[in-house]
């Protein structure tokens, strides 16, 4: 919950759709993309955009984007402007790189010698400043502060190995991936093709779905039903509502070509030898919707296992278990199940406050805390409550909630946190506060229970989080006899950073001199818990 209130946010979500079979299609591509973006609304609420094409001409793009939620940006009239279309890509944004203004809305569209290209991007380039300088030295102007415009211009600018009349977009994409190792999952549309690309470390999610006739939807990935089209999304949670079945993930470093005919892997850009993949573990902890699938497992199941592990690590004498709604609910259910206590709601959430009105502005975030919850005092008056939260970031959100519970009759309030303490910022597409703002780095952290007014506070250990995330993955690979000896190590943090950041980047020198990097290899996942000084 504190992620939501205090500014730890995913940057955005991307979604694409292409119709199969004969064109012009009967598939309502603009509406499919709109519904897909609604399914990704939790990943960004500041702006949204869609670009479509008939696929017959490299110049036939139709674009609409604006500030606000998807349903506010796209009306029936605005969607009519996106017809007639056979393919398109869309985006919903929360700003981490670049300010929240219309100019930074995605997708970005540029004209090239070979027609228009459109790009939608989730993530944040770790070497954006150097790449901006490179383009400007070559006379390429940039009109926004968005990394996504930078990617679009780099793809258009990169000298390709090609004939003038046959653009080699794969070569351009590979060049981009070699120029910047992280962090991005992106969609690029050119004429009648959508390219789906994930950075070599797999830091941000991306998956593919198959549109099937409504009567054939099973959710089990059947391959014998007619394919009406293909979709690609930051999360699989957007598939069911549009009549799509989960097909597969885009793998780290993979360049996928999605056409009206099929889905093809064109290339895989490798990581440096010895570097593990680095999927952001907070997709599991908070960012993703619980019904999404990553690495073959449902996010909800991972969160429930985190709660079960937390009950093993931090039991307490109590009468009931509850949650700070809503992302911590699976963990609370897991905790209650493991310790044999009843799960009872103590807070009710005002669903019309929160994500809809929370913007990356401190004053608005602080105002949201007081009006977000009601108290179900009859459920806990005179009782000892275990309150499960997904995080404690600054510590000034959980405190008023505990005060509400005590004033409403709670005898004791024991806080259990379903993730380890966050100690460092992130520069890879998540708006995590500065190191100084994080409660884990303040003197108050040593007496956190007293500081927030709780009877006790315990975080899930790093090892507990690792085991909760990897339990299902490891079991599945064991069953398939494909477990690689170097893929899963013991449950300790590797001392090896998963990539070396250039010493000239502004967040290491200049803007934030002397700052430590948060990007560490936690097994095969990135976690903002421990850090080492950057390799300069």
Q: Are residues 303 and 198 in the same domain?
A: no
Residues 252 and 305 in one domain: no
What CATH number is given to the structural domain containing 253?
3.60.20.10
Residues 236 and 346 in one domain: no
Q: Is 191 a domain residue?
A: yes
Examine the domain organization and report whether 173 and 100 are in the same domain.
Answer: yes
Choose the final residue of a domain: 223, 239, 271. 271
439 belongs to a structural domain: yes
DSSP state of 224: S
In which band, very low, low, confident or very high, does the pLDDT at 53 lie, cut at 50, 70 and 90? very high
Domain match, 338 and 405 both: yes
pLDDT at 506: 30
> Helices (H) and strands (E) in the chain — how many of each?
14, 24
396 and 258 housed in the same domain: no
Half-sphere exposure of 148 (CA within 13 A, CB side): 33
Distance CA 293, CA 301 (A): 10
At residue 514, the pLDDT reads: 32
**260 and 311 fall within a common domain:** no
Residue 321's domain spans which residues?
Answer: 293-462
Residue with tokens 């897909």: 36
What is the predicted pLDDT for the residue at 130? 93
Closest CA to 229 of 211, 215, 245: 211
pLDDT attached to residue 372: 80
Judge if 192 and 304 occupy the same domain: no
Say how far apart CA 246 and CA 165 lie, in whole Å.
36
Residue 80's H or E segment, with its range, is helix 76-80
Question: Is residue 201 over pLDDT 80?
Answer: yes
- Find, among 157, 149, 231, 240, the residue nearest to 196 by Cα: 231
Residue 251 and residue 346 in one domain? no
Per the annotation, the verdict on 12 as an active-site residue is: yes
CA atoms within 13 A on the CB side of 221: 8
* Pairing of the two strands 115-123 and 373-375: unpaired
Looking at the structure, tell me whether residues 321 and 242 fall in a common domain.
no
Cα distances (Å, whole numbers) of residue 509 to 413, 501, 503: 43, 11, 7
Block residue for tokens 């003038």: 164
Structural domain contains residue 504: no
- Could you tell me the CATH number of the domain that includes residue 429? 3.40.50.2020
108/206 same-domain check: yes
Q: Do residues 258 and 194 lie in contact, with contact meaning Cβ atoms separated by under 8 Å?
A: yes
Domain's final residue, options 462, 495, 516: 462
Residue where a domain terminates, one of 216, 237, 271: 271
Classify the C-alpha dihedral 57-32-357-3 as positive or negative: negative
Q: Which of 12, 207, 237, 426 is catalytic?
A: 12
d(CA 437, CA 18): 44
Q: Which pLDDT band holds residue 362 (cuts at 50, 70, 90)?
A: low
Asked whether the predicted pLDDT for residue 478 surpasses 60, the reply is no
Percent of the chain with pLDDT over 70: 77
Please tell me whether residues 263 and 317 are part of one structural domain: no
Looking at the DSSP assignment, which residues form a beta bridge with residue 209? 231, 246
Structure tokens at 392: 């404690």
276 pLDDT band (50/70/90 cuts)?
Answer: confident
pLDDT in tens, 261-274: 999 999 999 998 88
Quick check: is 533 in a domain? no
- Reported as a pLDDT band with limits 50, 70 and 90, residue 157 is confident
Q: Is residue 232 part of a domain?
A: yes
By the 8 A CB rule, do 255 and 197 touch?
yes
**Residue 360 above 80 pLDDT?**
no
Q: Which of 416-420, 466-470, 503-507 has the lowest mean pLDDT?
A: 503-507
Write the pLDDT tens digit of every residue in 404-425. 999 999 999 999 999 999 888 7
State mean pLDDT over 79-108: 83
Q: Name beta bridge partners: 293.
A: 298
pLDDT at 488 over 60: no
Residue 15's pLDDT band, with cuts at 50, 70 and 90, is: very high
In a domain, 423, yes or no: yes
Binding site as annotated, residues for Mg(2+):
327, 389-390
Among 78-82, 234-238, 254-258, 469-473, the range scoring the smallest mean pLDDT is 469-473
Q: Per the structure, how many domains does the chain have?
A: 2
The Cβ of residue 191 has, within 10 Å, a number of other Cβ atoms equal to 20
Residue 178 located in a structural domain: yes
User: CA-CA distance, 247 to 270, in Å (whole number)?
Assistant: 23
């Amino acid at each position: 919950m504190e992620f939501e209130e205090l500014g730890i946010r995913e940057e955005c979500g991307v979604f694409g759709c292409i119709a199969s079979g004969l064109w012009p299609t009967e598939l309502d591509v603009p509406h499919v993309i709109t519904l897909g973006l609604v399914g990704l609304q939790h990943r960004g609420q500041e702006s949204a955009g869609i670009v479509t094409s008939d696929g017959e001409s490299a110049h036939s793009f139709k674009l609409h984007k604006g500030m606000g939620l998807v349903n506010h940006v796209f009306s029936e009239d605005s969607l009519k402007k996106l017809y007639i279309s056979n393919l398109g890509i869309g985006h919903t944004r929360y700003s981490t790189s670049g300010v929240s203004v219309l100019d930074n809305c995605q997708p970005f569209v540029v004209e090239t010698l070979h027609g228009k290209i459109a790009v939608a991007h989730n993530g944040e380039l770790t070497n954006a400043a150097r790449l901006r300088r490179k383009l400007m030295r070559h006379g390429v102007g940039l009109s926004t502060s968005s990394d996504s415009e930078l990617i679009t211009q780099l793809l258009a600018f990169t000298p390709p190995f090609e004939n003038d009349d046959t653009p080699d977009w794969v070569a351009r994409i590979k060049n981009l991936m070699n120029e910047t190792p992280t962090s991005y999952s992106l969609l690029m549309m050119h004429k009648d093709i959508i390219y789906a690309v994930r950075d070599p470390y797999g830091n941000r999610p991306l998956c593919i779905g198959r549109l099937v006739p409504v009567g054939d939807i099973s959710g089990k990935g059947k391959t014998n039903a007619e394919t009406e089209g293909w979709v690609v999304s930051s999360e699989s949670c957007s598939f069911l509502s549009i009549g799509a079945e989960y097909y597969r993930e885009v793998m780290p470093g993979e360049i996928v070509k999605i056409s009206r005919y099929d889905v093809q892997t064109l290339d895989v850009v490798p990581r440096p030898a010895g570097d593990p993949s680095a999927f952001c573990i907070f997709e599991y902890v908070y960012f993703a919707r619980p019904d999404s699938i990553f690495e073959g497992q449902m996010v909800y199941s991972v969160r429930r296992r985190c709660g079960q592990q937390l009950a093993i690590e931090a039991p307490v004498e109590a009468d009931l278990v509850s949650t700070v709604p809503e992302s911590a609910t699976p963990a609370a259910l897991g905790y209650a199940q493991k310790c044999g206590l009843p799960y009872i709601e103590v807070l009710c959430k005002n669903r019309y406050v929160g994500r809809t009105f929370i913007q990356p502005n401190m004053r608005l975030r602080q105002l949201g805390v007081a009006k977000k919850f009601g108290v179900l005092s009859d459920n806990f008056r005179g009782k000892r409550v275990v309150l499960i939260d997904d995080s404690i970031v600054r510590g000034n959100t959980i405190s008023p909630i505990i005060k509400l519970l005590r004033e409403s009759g709670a005898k004791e309030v024991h806080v259990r946190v379903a993730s380890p303490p966050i100690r460092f910022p992130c520069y890879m597409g998540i708006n995590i506060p500065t190191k100084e703002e994080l409660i884990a780095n303040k003197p108050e952290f040593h007496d956190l229970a007293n500081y927030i007014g709780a009877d006790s506070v315990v975080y899930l250990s790093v090892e507990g989080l690792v085991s909760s995330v990897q339990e299902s993955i490891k079991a599945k690979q064991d069953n398939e006899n494909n477990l690689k000896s170097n893929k899963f190590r013991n449950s300790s943090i590797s001392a090896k950073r998963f990539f070396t950041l250039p010493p000239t980047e502004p967040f290491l020198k200049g803007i934030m001199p002397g700052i430590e990097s948060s990007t560490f290899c936690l097994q095969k996942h990135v976690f903002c818990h421990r850090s080492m000084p950057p390799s300069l």
